[in-house]
A and B are shown apart, each in its own frame.
Chain A
Amino acid sequence: MVTNNKELISPLQFIFIIIQTQIGVGILSLPYMIYESGAKTDAWISMLLVGGIIQLIILLYWVLTNWFPTSPFYGLLSKVYGKLFGRALTIGYTVYFIFVSSLVLILFNFVIEIWAFPRTPSWAFNLMMCILAYYLVVDKLRVIGRFHTLVSVLLLTIIFLTLPAYPYMDIRYIMPIGDSGILNIVKGGKEALLSILGFEVILFLFPFVEGSKKKKLAAASIANVIVTVFYTYLTLICLLFFSPEEIKLIPEPVLYLLKAFTFPVLERVDIVFLAIWIMSVVTSLMSYVYLASVGLADVFSVKHHKKTVPFIIGSSFVIALIPRNSISIASWSEIITNIGLIFVIGIPVLTVLYICIFKREKVDQDANKSR
């Protein structure tokens, strides 16, 4: 894949691809999810904690990819585990990313149905999202980087939209800090981790980033800091704005927060916000579709991933069509994200351990060769 995707992305584009992949559907309900999982008013501490954990995972990814500086993660798997098992793992990742893509579509539809278009059939919006994802992903990674960088400006508007909440905030809502206890904060951390999945894109993109090893690590860390701060900020705003009693009742606190304000020229900010939010959703979808299509291309030894994109998009579209209600969506999303933990943290950690124990010498040779 290095050979047919010769064009590398700049560290800046790398940062924004990570940010845009992580910030997606979850943004609307994140504070509620962490709150409900037991962290209560200390949800923001959970969020910070998760930022720290992700930083550790990024370090791990970095170590892992540095052993094979030129081969992308899918190629790395077959190098480490042999062709057969490596390919099986690649298929596993591809299927996982297809399911994540469809999950993004499902969650997106769920929110749209509740907030804006109760009677529009879900396939219509799914189709629109899929067209967008297809149109971008068939192009080079660099173009994806360009797009993700460009639309990141919209994240600023999200922050601007929260500014009117400041006069109504009450610091007492989150007092006393640490009231929920460490165990509950960690539990909340797990929930938060599920919401900001998407950092696995780092693992796959490392070989395609320009610059030295240190620069790549710095870029990934900056992205992580930005995402963590952004999410912590949103969580904190919601916790300060809504009383602990209120927040239990509202599954999309960010939207309810915006709904409370009226501007002289805009009565309902939340509708405008939802429209902007589409951009965040579609960028996550694009990243996952890209990862899945690259995986599928690797499995079938197709030279360019653009040939596999239609299959990925088609299957996620079909999976997203299966009718669901709010309860089944919740369990569905829980299953997928829990499996995600295996792929995102489990397998990389195991691979690092495996290499450390069995294959240290061979890896060093490889690294020297490619240098």
Chain B
Amino acid sequence: MNSFFVFKKLNANYIYIREDSHYTDDLKKREFTWNGRRGICLFLETIIDEEKLEKTFFSNLETDSQSEESELKKKISATEVSEIQHINQVSNELHKGMAAVFLEEKSEAYVFDVKKTTERSVQEPENEKIVRGSHDGFVETLMTNLQLLRRRIEVQDLVIKYHAVGTETKTRIALVYLASIANPTIVKEVEEKVKSISIDMVFSPGAIEEFLENDTISPFPQMLNTERPDRVMANLIDGRIAILTDGDPTALVCPSSFFTFYQSPDDYNSRFLVGTFYRLLRMVSFLIAIFVPAIYIATVSFHFEVIPADLVLPVKSSVERIPYPPIVEAILMELTIELIREAGIRLPSPIGQTIGIVGGLVIGDAVVQAGLVSNIMIIVVAITAIASFVVPSFEMSSALRVIRFPFMFFAASFGYFGIMFCFTLLLIHLCRLESFGSPYFSPLAPLTWQDLKDSVIRAPMKKMNERPKATLPRKKFRQAIRKGRRKW
């Protein structure tokens, strides 16, 4: 692209820019005179805030006496005014929400920010509600999101790096980390990966995630998606890196481990015992979600002798009238549940509720009445569905729901041994998986005793002095006082 300098004739500039932006209709020109010289101000009316433009530039022109021979630049009361010599660069800037001021006989344009910001008010994210704690969430504007983070971490260590991603959209992406804690090699790796992304648009953070993660085939999310500033802050201080995208309220946190997805800000708000209990409950929910249907299928079809004597009769009488093998029953019901969930998710909430009731209660009851599915299978499927929603991360709960299908198939073909096969495969996969050089299943594999304090359980605050080792932080300790000795 050959570049022209800004023309000295005003009209030439206007014509050039109009041509350069393909005669788009929202390109507007406003003329003015200053010190007897004519000038024009160009902007795209669709993305600028006219009031802002008036305030930062035109009102200054009028109020001041024009006798004084001073620079026009000083009349512009924006935080940053850049002088641009190349005209095609000017039209680039215009499309980012800037206004450009040209003056007769001057081969420079002054460009300043008058972007209009339409933003949703900061409110609690719908899918990550908590009981106690802060109720703000990220919005679609990058600046607001960064402000929410800066306000929480008011130190000079908090570094924000911008990158433009998307050859057509030029979406702004911000890399946020704490320079004194985050491991520099991981930061470098993430930065290089972000730079190497070459795609026409950034549609969602999920797309960025796929470009950054190590293993795209794995069902497990390798970056934490969150809309909560407090969650991002806690992760930053653990030595992780957050990636925020303009136009999306979701922050990606990396490197994240399996257990990051099971932490919720609520754990730290509740008392240690209660917090630990809920942590453990979520861990159990993971096991329930993948194991219970498989174990039921395996038990009913292969290992009936495992059921204790008193329970044999109820189970047998429930299963006996069913024409299908248990795996068909299970697939039927699991599919129904998934259908109800998928149908309800995009409907307005009153209709969604109706779907839930119709699907859950009516189908559940009718299917048993019709003798297609046994009572116990309904219980199993319902428990599994509930358990899979316990996980505080949507991505992880979707992963869980996918994983349980191979478990069910292998349970139906090889009984407990099939389950064990799937489970071993799952464990090997978790052991192999790495997220930006930090092992995904840490602290269980590799076993790190210290880190167990904040993964499987939630230890009392004063015991949690060390940062998780998996993120290889530069500072090891959180608290100035070692070993929980209090100073009072």
Residues of B contacting A: mostly: helix
B440 vs chain A, min Cβ distance (A): 10
A314 shortest CB reach to chain B, Å: 19
* A128 pairs with B421, CB closer than 8 A: yes
C-alpha gap A371/B432 in the complex (Å): 33
When the two chains form the complex, which single residue of A120, A136, A272 contacts B306, counting CB atoms closer than 8 Å?
A: A272
Query: In the assembly, what is the distance between CA of A313 and CA of B78, in Å?
Result: 69
Decide if B307 is an interface residue (CB 8 Å cutoff).
yes
Chain A 143-175 near chain B by CB (<8 Å), digits 1 or 0: 101110111000000000000000000000000
Partner of B427 from A131, A151, A262, A278 at Cβ < 8 Å: A151
A125 at the interface (CB under 8 A from B): yes
Do B416 and A271 touch across chains, with their CB atoms under 8 A apart? yes
A271 and B425 in contact (CB under 8 A), knowing A13-B446, A146-B441?
no
Contact B306 A282 (CB under 8 A): no
Q: With A120-B414, A268-B303 as known contacts, state yes or no: A147 contacts B420, CB within 8 Å.
A: no
B419–A275 contact, CB under 8 A?
Answer: yes
Are B424 and A149 in contact, with the CB atoms below 8 A? no
- Which of these, A125, A146, A262, A263, contacts B417 with CB under 8 Å? A125
Which residues between 265 and 288 of chain A lie within 8 Å of chain B, taking CB atoms? 265-268, 271-272, 274-276, 278-279, 282
Q: Interface size (B, Cβ < 8 Å)?
A: 27
Q: A272: which of B307, B416, B427, B431 is its contact (CB, 8 Å)?
A: B416
> Taking the complex as formed, is A330 at the interface, i.e. its CB lies under 8 A from any CB of chain B?
no
| Residue among B306, B415, B421, B445 making CB contact with A147, cutoff 8 Å | B445
Interface status of A117 (Cβ within 8 A of chain B):
yes
Q: Does A124 contact B (CB under 8 A)?
A: yes
Contacts of B414 in A (CB 8 A): 117, 120, 124-125, 128
Q: Are A275 and B432 in contact (CB under 8 A)?
A: no
Query: Which chain B residue has the least Cβ–Cβ distance from A263?
Result: B308
Q: Are A278 and B305 in contact (CB under 8 A)?
A: no
User: With A131-B425, A132-B425 given, is the CB distance from A150 to B417 under 8 Å?
Assistant: no
By a CB distance below 8 angstroms, the chain B residues around A143 are 431-432
Bound together, the chains give a CA A352 to CA B340 distance in angstroms of: 70
Q: How far is the CA of A279 from the CA of B426 in the complex (A)?
A: 12
**A40 smallest CB distance to B (angstroms):** 33
Tell me, yes or no, whether B309 is within 8 Å of chain A by CB. Answer: yes
Which residues, 163 to 210 on A, are CB-close (under 8 Å) to B? none
In the bound complex, do residue A149 and residue B445 qualify as a contact, i.e. CB atoms below 8 Å apart? Answer: yes
CB distance from B434 to the nearest CB of A (A): 9
Interchain nearest-CB distance for B321 vs A (Å): 23
Q: Are A136 and B415 in contact (CB under 8 A)?
A: no
Q: How far is the CB of A99 from chain B (nearest CB, A)?
A: 23
Name the CB-closest residue of A to B424: A132
Residues of B within 8 A of A10 (CB): 446
Specify which chain B residues have a CB less than 8 angstroms from the CB of A116 in the assembled complex. 415-417
> Which of chain A's residues have a CB closer than 8 A to the CB of B307?
267
Q: Is A366 an interface residue (CB 8 A)?
A: no
Check A147/B427 contact, CB under 8 A, given A124-B414, A132-B421. Answer: yes
Give the contacting residue for B308; candidates A117, A139, A262, A276; CB below 8 A. A262
Given A266-B308, A267-B307, decide whether A136 and B428 contact each other with a Cβ distance below 8 A. yes
Q: Is A57 an interface residue (CB 8 A)?
A: no
Q: Please encode chain B, from 426 to 460, with 1 for each CB lying within 8 Å of some chain A CB and 0 for all others.
A: 01110110000001010011110000000000000
Smallest beta-carbon distance A271→chain B, Å: 5
Beta-carbon nearest neighbor of B298 in chain A = A275
The answer to whether the Cβ of A85 comes within 8 Å of any Cβ in the partner chain is no
| Residues on the A chain within 8 Å of B309, using CB | 262, 267
1/0 contact string of A133-145 vs chain B (CB within 8 Å): 0011001001101
- A264 on the interface (CB 8 Å rule)? yes
Contact B420 A275, beta carbon cutoff 8 Å: yes
* Most chain A CB neighbours (cut-off 10 Å) among B418, B419, B445: B445
Q: List the A side residues contacting B417 at CB < 8 Å.
A: 112, 116-117, 125, 128, 274-275, 278
Q: Is the CB of A268 within 8 A of B431?
A: no
Q: Which single member of B305, B424, B431, B444 contacts A282 (CB below 8 Å)?
A: B424
Residues in A with CB closer than 8 Å to B306 are 266-268, 271-272
Write the chain A residue with the least CB distance to B419.
A275
Q: Are B431 and A146 in contact (CB under 8 A)?
A: yes
| Closest residue on chain B to residue A142 by CB atoms | B446
Closest residue to A152 on the B side, CB-wise? Answer: B447
Tell me if A150 and B445 are in contact (CB < 8 A). yes
Asked whether A279 lies within 8 Å of B445 as measured between CB atoms, the reply is: no
Residue A12 at the B interface, CB < 8 A?
yes
Q: How far is the CB of B293 from chain A (nearest CB, A)?
A: 16
Q: How far is the CB of A339 from chain B (nearest CB, A)?
A: 29
Contacts A117-B414, A271-B416, A278-B417; A146 near B445 (Cβ below 8 A): yes
Q: Considering residues B307, B309, B417, B425, which has the most beta carbons from chain A within 10 angstroms of its beta carbon?
A: B417
Identity of the chain B residue whose Cβ is nearest the Cβ of A137 in the assembled complex: B428
Whether A150 lies near B431 (C-beta < 8 A) is: yes
Contacts of B446 in A (CB 8 A): 10, 13, 142, 145-146, 149
Q: Mark A3-16, 1 if CB is under 8 A from B, else 0.
A: 00000001011000
For the complex, what is the distance from the CA of A149 to the CA of B445, rounded to whole Å?
7
Whether B303 contacts A279 by the Cβ 8 Å rule is no
CB contact between A150 and one of B308, B425, B427 (< 8 Å): that residue? B427
Which residues of chain A have C-beta atoms less than 8 A from B424's C-beta? 132, 151, 278-279, 282
The CA of A262 and the CA of B431, in the complex, are separated in Å by 35
Q: Which residue on chain B has the smallest CB distance to residue A9?
A: B446
Beyond A124-B414, A151-B424, A279-B424, 17 additional contacts (C-beta under 8 Å) are A116-B416, A117-B414, A117-B417, A136-B431, A146-B431, A146-B441, A146-B447, A147-B431, A150-B447, A266-B308, A268-B306, A271-B305, A274-B416, A275-B416, A275-B417, A278-B424, A279-B420
Task: Give me the 4 closest cross-chain CB pairs, A-B, nearest first.
Answer: A146-B445, A275-B416, A150-B445, A147-B431
**8 A–B contact pairs at CB < 8 A?**
A116-B416, A128-B418, A131-B425, A136-B428, A143-B432, A267-B308, A268-B306, A275-B420
